[in-house]
Structure 1
């Protein structure tokens, strides 16, 4: 521009900057004159933006908005490449305000090297009504993933019914990411045309497409092709399979059960689990009976696998249905129902199982006895005693005696002793084992004498079992490695040895022989998996290939494995001995996991199963390449506001789903929040802190702390009743840390930090980060209130409050 133009523009810029009233007549006159200078004023205005105050900035943006045109557009683009953040912000504001330039220039600007693409995308979003869906689609295909996603968000906002043919025409394209975005956009339109197009993608070879299609169908209403969707319950991709579960459950199609038959027969455990999870929601006695009738002509191993899945994963609806079927007229149905109940160990089944012991089918009767023994209910003892005295129960006596050994106590000694002398070998064996379990200290000597007499039996099996029973009895009375009710002792536990020439000497050696004790320890050690010695490529259980060790915490060691059966990576978390050896902890732990595995949501790590592998307990769960939320806070500096808000809202979303099924996390902390490169957030370690019983202190008898002191709610620290508001407190603490760069309480050791939480005297976030918008600091402090009645009461409420601060 000319010297005089430059001089004039600079003078007007100075006049605007020196004005005390941006809205005054003098300032507005200067703004109008600066606009009249024309394109020559642009450089002067851009140069003034970095140091301008708020009032001047608004005036300068008004000038820039008036000078935007097709001719001056390149000048603005240079500013987006070379300018400071204030300059970029001013240009963005001006381009957003003006419509005096062709919109296609914005799409072309995305290709300019070094340009601030987020700014251009913000302007495109603001000017979205000026674009056609076709224009944006063409531009999106040429962009990198982040820009592509942003453009597709705009497409999703402007697409209308007229755009449906264009979108459907592109849904079969080559770019899988673009196809996923198109599927998500089409999900907005609940029309038969869209339904048909989407359901045609359910057999697509790309797992991303299958998964996105199922997610779209889940959000839509209307009829679905239930056969196609049920076929995906056998999908090798766990994520696809889980989404198929949700779609089938929501559809609740009358033909669903028909298509579950083949899924329940499938060799893949995940497929069978999927079928049962659907049944848990839509099943009833009629549908379960239909399935069992369809399965009864299958091979025995197919029936066994199906019964195992129904029993172990079946929820209340399935179990209630099975309890009705125990009385069905069809013998095969009754047998199948009893097999399922043998897997459930559900106390609700006791009365039905007691009634089933009177079944005319001997097989149903005997398996009912087995199931009662596995459940461990003493209510079954009177009926078992009745069977013991009934001649018609002759063939079932060994099973009845075995069950009494698991359920009975010392009052049964007089009933069981005569059975040791019975002629039937099976009855004698079961009576010997039962006596070793029920005799108390007062009757131990009498029982020992009877058992020692059996050690001299010419029947080698009887002799060995008697010797093992003597050892078990003596060890139990002495308090050594007691065998719990319902457990069959291993040879090492029972101390089985060949009978000795002198029974009395044999008994003494069985108890005190150092060589035997050493051999027992060696046998147990040999059977137990040592995860510390695993090398890359090692195969466990003939299925899980070791890849790498991810980490170790108070509850367990986390390993990355590959399931060679389904050719998929997963996580195995092996529980530490201090957890797995505590019976009460394990009971609560397994109970919580049964519910946790039902949580299926994009913001929650999926739990697959609870496994027992070579002497160790492990949780198998979804593998999610990611970093922790903790790594987002670098050098005690706050996380960018909108990013932190998005993370907090995602945590609220995932926790809402968990709370809806009655799961409280109890250990929410940055280490249990994972984020991938695309910004997807998932919560991990549900159920781990379920080992904590209401009323327990946080420092448990096994020496580990349940929950993390920096993020633990006051009521949890004090051992009071914990509900979802404890999780809300933890989200508040994490939000505090993200937006201030440091947790509210961190000084001193664990006990000191816990005390600080109970006192609740954290500095207000606004003091540490004055840039926080008004009200956000109060929101965080409300979430962290010591009195839980003063916090947000649900995650939905907290999430809605956070949304108010989103741009």
Structure 2
């Protein structure tokens, strides 16, 4: 700029600044003359802007707008880099009002170092009509997130139908942020082309893309691919899953229920929640029934998880639908409906449940009683009393008595007291427990006297249950909350009373360790003199050889009796198989097959099995008698076992199981109740009679469908019905280790099905959180033994034993 030009510009700027009237002829003439000065006036105006008043500022902006051109634009850009805020503001106004420059230069300006990008973006927005979608897209990809977002907002504002092909073509790009912006822009258009393009991205590996597509679909109208959207109800990303719920609900597609089936069966709790939330909005009795019918043939744990989700998360629509299904003609549907209602504890279900107690299906009837007990409504009392006095199914009486106890009405004392004297053991036990729950202060003394009388009962289980009930009654009346699991511990102690010396194998009776053909033939032969072990009295002699001494206990597979072999004058155990087991030919073949291998185990840490006998129409396993207590009784009041002692027990189990595994025998029911310890600390593992001899070709042994194992200690693969090997026993020992070093099992919440599901999930609380005093490394060892993935566990009992060794000292 020449000296004279600069001088002239400065004089005109001063004239404009000093004017009191911006609209006066003199001022307007000065503005026109300043514009005539040309580009040389720009710097003078920039210098004047910081001190100019409002009127002068407007005049200067008018001058700058008149001086904008492609040639002068670099000067303006430099002002956006170096100028003060007022200068930058003035430049922005000038560039916004002028169209005397190519718009693409604004996009290029975004790359100038130090430039005020927000100002440039404001100008671009004001000039947006001068840009094309493709031009803005090309510029947007090169920008930082903030600038990119601003340009994509402009693209969204200017895009029309003609831009759809360009936008769709960029949906598969590499920049996920850009793709999200494009998806949001395309959501404005409801054309089939856009719908198909967006829904094609529902399987995109990037969660941002899946979420953006679902958000777009929520804003759009038109048909949706319900199969693809429903699949996202199982998405691992909660945000994506929640958006999928909204889309499915909004669509209310007629095929929705078809695709909810797999979601409701999913192992993931969030997926099942998603399915139920959809049902809460669009479900009805027909749709819920459709789902339950589809689930009928699924594995029990799948049905259980689904019922649990429907019951706990189901809203009014789901519950109303289930209440209708309680009266369905299909027995399986009624059963499923009752299971769901067992989870709801919804007062609305009371009347339907009362009606369900009259169901011809005993299972529906009994579970309806359970559900009424959980709800706790006194409206159920008349029906329960009716069932008690006129039982259609005698086996249901213990369940009815238990329900009456849970309702906690003191008026029931007179009804329950006579039941304590019933001959049926189960009814007596439930009546004893119920009395401890319903008696109030006015009847407490009478109930105490009755319970005290039962403490003297020769049946140890009745005796201990009565003692526990008295304790519970006293605590309740005193306002004391008893420790959880007290009654369970008492019951476990009852089952632990094995008091047995050394034995010699019996030589008489009829052995069943014969060929399969012989087993089949023997199983089909019914002998006239059928043995009823329930009627045996002390001193009774069976087969002229085995003298009955005591009944030790009863489990899922059989009843354990302490006998004396009068031929050799030694004691032994006879475990008589329960009828439901012994009457199944396939099960009998399995027992014979397994026992052929099991009795080969001769080791100090394993109870010796002698024979499998057929005695007067009953089957029994004869085995070593070992005076002892169970490992379960070592864990008292939820306190950890002394570390050295716990490690010794675990290592002895490893040693005994190593011998069994070397013979190809997997226990499959390893638990504290099957580990016996005598007063000298000698440990023996028992009940290999129900183990599976895992040898090649033996997979058919599980085809009968019997589940072998205890829920608290069962390996995930065993729960899921997969092939079981030695590592299932390692898992069980891991659970036992957890219990010994913390005082509590890792999974106990809920019923058996819930516990099994927790094993499959594998989310146990770390042992060091339960017992912070554990030595470093022990918690990790326990969790490794309990790994859900069996390939991540110790691969042999010997490997685990060696790992335990360092914690013993």
Query: Could you tell me the TM-score, scaled by structure 2's length?
Result: 0.61
Question: Counterparts of 1:791-806 in structure 2 under 5 Å?
Answer: none
Whole-Å separation in 2 of the counterparts to 1:53 and 1:314: 67
Whole-Å separation in 2 of the counterparts to 1:420 and 1:226: 59
Is 1:66 equivalent to 2:63 in the alignment?
no
What residue in structure 1 maps to residue 112 of structure 2? 112
What residue in structure 2 maps to residue 21 of structure 1? 21
What residue in structure 2 maps to residue 607 of structure 1? none
The answer to whether the Cα contact below 8 Å between 2:420 and 2:427 also exists between their aligned partners in 1 is yes
The answer to whether the Cα contact below 8 Å between 1:467 and 1:496 also exists between their aligned partners in 2 is no
**Compared CA separation, residues 192 and 112, structure 1 to 2 (3 A):** same
Whole-Å separation in 1 of the counterparts to 2:478 and 2:332: 47
Query: What is the Cα deviation at residue 56 of structure 1?
Result: 1.5
Query: What is the Cα deviation at residue 490 of structure 1?
Result: 2.5
Query: What is the Cα deviation at residue 16 of structure 1?
Result: 1.5
Whole-Å separation in 2 of the counterparts to 1:255 and 1:222: 15
The answer to whether the Cα contact below 8 Å between 1:471 and 1:495 also exists between their aligned partners in 2 is no
Residue 62 of structure 1 aligns to a residue whose secondary structure is: helix
What residue in structure 2 maps to residue 49 of structure 1? 49
What residue in structure 2 maps to residue 431 of structure 1? 431
Query: What is the Cα deviation at residue 495 of structure 1?
Result: 8.8
Residue 177 of structure 1 aligns to a residue whose secondary structure is: helix
What residue in structure 1 maps to residue 302 of structure 2? 302
| Cα deviation digits, residues 112-140 of structure 1 (max 9, x gap) | 00111111111111110000000000001
The answer to whether the Cα contact below 8 Å between 2:95 and 2:123 also exists between their aligned partners in 1 is yes
| Cα deviation digits, residues 739-770 of structure 1 (max 9, x gap) | xxxxxxxxxxxxxxxxxxxxxxxxxxxxxxxx
Question: C-alpha root-mean-square deviation of aligned residues, in Å?
Answer: 2.6
Query: What is the Cα deviation at residue 54 of structure 1?
Result: 1.7
What residue in structure 1 maps to residue 441 of structure 2? 441
The answer to whether the Cα contact below 8 Å between 1:472 and 1:493 also exists between their aligned partners in 2 is no
Residue 21 of structure 2 aligns to a residue whose secondary structure is: coil
The answer to whether the Cα contact below 8 Å between 1:468 and 1:497 also exists between their aligned partners in 2 is no
What residue in structure 2 maps to residue 578 of structure 1? none
| Cα deviation digits, residues 26-76 of structure 1 (max 9, x gap) | 222221111111111111111111122222211111111111110110111
Question: Counterparts of 1:102-181 in structure 2 under 5 Å?
Answer: 102-181=102-181
Whole-Å separation in 2 of the counterparts to 1:390 and 1:222: 60
The answer to whether the Cα contact below 8 Å between 2:16 and 2:30 also exists between their aligned partners in 1 is yes
Is 1:490 equivalent to 2:485 in the alignment?
yes
Query: What is the Cα deviation at residue 493 of structure 1?
Result: 10
**Compared CA separation, residues 158 and 41, structure 1 to 2 (3 A):** same
| Cα deviation digits, residues 222-252 of structure 1 (max 9, x gap) | 0011111111111111111111111111111
What residue in structure 2 maps to residue 230 of structure 1? 230
**Compared CA separation, residues 163 and 60, structure 1 to 2 (3 A):** same
Is 1:191 equivalent to 2:191 in the alignment?
yes
Whole-Å separation in 2 of the counterparts to 1:452 and 1:52: 103
Query: What is the Cα deviation at residue 520 of structure 1?
Result: 5.5
Query: What is the Cα deviation at residue 283 of structure 1?
Result: 0.8
Whole-Å separation in 1 of the counterparts to 2:227 and 2:8: 75
The answer to whether the Cα contact below 8 Å between 2:417 and 2:431 also exists between their aligned partners in 1 is yes
Query: What is the Cα deviation at residue 21 of structure 1?
Result: 2.1
Is 1:378 equivalent to 2:374 in the alignment?
no
The answer to whether the Cα contact below 8 Å between 2:454 and 2:466 also exists between their aligned partners in 1 is yes
Whole-Å separation in 2 of the counterparts to 1:377 and 1:26: 95
Residue 443 of structure 1 aligns to a residue whose secondary structure is: helix
**Compared CA separation, residues 38 and 492, structure 1 to 2 (3 A):** farther
What residue in structure 2 maps to residue 369 of structure 1? 369
What residue in structure 2 maps to residue 291 of structure 1? 291
Query: What is the Cα deviation at residue 381 of structure 1?
Result: 1.2
Residue 391 of structure 1 aligns to a residue whose secondary structure is: coil
**Compared CA separation, residues 371 and 153, structure 1 to 2 (3 A):** same
The answer to whether the Cα contact below 8 Å between 1:335 and 1:364 also exists between their aligned partners in 2 is yes
Report 1 or 2 for greater relative contact order, CA contacts < 8 Å, sequence distance ≥ 6.
2
Residue 442 of structure 2 aligns to a residue whose secondary structure is: coil
**Compared CA separation, residues 418 and 614, structure 1 to 2 (3 A):** farther
What residue in structure 2 maps to residue 357 of structure 1? 357
Question: Counterparts of 1:497-516 in structure 2 under 5 Å?
Answer: none
What residue in structure 2 maps to residue 10 of structure 1? 10
Q: Which has the larger radius of gyration?
A: 2
Query: What is the Cα deviation at residue 613 of structure 1?
Result: 7.7
**Compared CA separation, residues 81 and 158, structure 1 to 2 (3 A):** same
Whole-Å separation in 2 of the counterparts to 1:87 and 1:471: 88
Whole-Å separation in 1 of the counterparts to 2:358 and 2:24: 97
The answer to whether the Cα contact below 8 Å between 1:472 and 1:494 also exists between their aligned partners in 2 is no
Whole-Å separation in 1 of the counterparts to 2:377 and 2:107: 72
The answer to whether the Cα contact below 8 Å between 2:234 and 2:241 also exists between their aligned partners in 1 is yes
Whole-Å separation in 1 of the counterparts to 2:489 and 2:478: 14
Query: What is the Cα deviation at residue 24 of structure 1?
Result: 2.8
Query: What is the Cα deviation at residue 458 of structure 1?
Result: 2.2
Is 1:31 equivalent to 2:31 in the alignment?
yes
What residue in structure 1 maps to residue 417 of structure 2? 417
Whole-Å separation in 2 of the counterparts to 1:337 and 1:422: 33
What residue in structure 2 maps to residue 79 of structure 1? 79
The answer to whether the Cα contact below 8 Å between 1:469 and 1:494 also exists between their aligned partners in 2 is no
Query: What is the Cα deviation at residue 522 of structure 1?
Result: 6.1
Whole-Å separation in 2 of the counterparts to 1:11 and 1:466: 112
What residue in structure 2 maps to residue 201 of structure 1? 201
Query: What is the Cα deviation at residue 494 of structure 1?
Result: 9.5
**Compared CA separation, residues 495 and 301, structure 1 to 2 (3 A):** closer
What residue in structure 2 maps to residue 387 of structure 1? 387
Query: What is the Cα deviation at residue 408 of structure 1?
Result: 3.0
Is 1:279 equivalent to 2:279 in the alignment?
yes
**Compared CA separation, residues 498 and 322, structure 1 to 2 (3 A):** closer
**Compared CA separation, residues 239 and 350, structure 1 to 2 (3 A):** same
Question: Counterparts of 1:282-681 in structure 2 under 5 Å?
Answer: 282-481=282-481, 490-491=485-486
| Cα deviation digits, residues 280-302 of structure 1 (max 9, x gap) | 11111111111111111111111
Question: Counterparts of 1:707-746 in structure 2 under 5 Å?
Answer: none
| Cα deviation digits, residues 664-707 of structure 1 (max 9, x gap) | xxxxxxxxxxxxxxxxxxxxxxxxxxxxxxxxxxxxxxxxxxxx
What residue in structure 2 maps to residue 677 of structure 1? none
The answer to whether the Cα contact below 8 Å between 1:137 and 1:155 also exists between their aligned partners in 2 is yes
Whole-Å separation in 2 of the counterparts to 1:30 and 1:420: 115
The answer to whether the Cα contact below 8 Å between 2:280 and 2:316 also exists between their aligned partners in 1 is yes
Query: What is the Cα deviation at residue 445 of structure 1?
Result: 1.1
Q: Which range is displaced more, 233-242 or 14-23?
A: 14-23
What residue in structure 2 maps to residue 753 of structure 1? none
Query: What is the Cα deviation at residue 393 of structure 1?
Result: 3.7
What residue in structure 1 maps to residue 268 of structure 2? 268
| Cα deviation digits, residues 449-481 of structure 1 (max 9, x gap) | 111111122222222211111111111111222
The answer to whether the Cα contact below 8 Å between 1:451 and 1:466 also exists between their aligned partners in 2 is yes
Whole-Å separation in 2 of the counterparts to 1:447 and 1:200: 71
The answer to whether the Cα contact below 8 Å between 2:272 and 2:309 also exists between their aligned partners in 1 is yes
Whole-Å separation in 2 of the counterparts to 1:192 and 1:521: 64
| Cα deviation digits, residues 784-806 of structure 1 (max 9, x gap) | xxxxxxxxxxxxxxxxxxxxxxx
**Compared CA separation, residues 613 and 416, structure 1 to 2 (3 A):** farther
**Compared CA separation, residues 410 and 22, structure 1 to 2 (3 A):** same
Query: What is the Cα deviation at residue 260 of structure 1?
Result: 0.8
Uncovered stretches (5+) of structure 1, i.e. residues with no partner: 484-488, 500-518, 524-540, 543-610, 616-807
Query: What is the Cα deviation at residue 348 of structure 1?
Result: 0.8
Query: What is the Cα deviation at residue 492 of structure 1?
Result: 8.0
**Compared CA separation, residues 420 and 381, structure 1 to 2 (3 A):** same
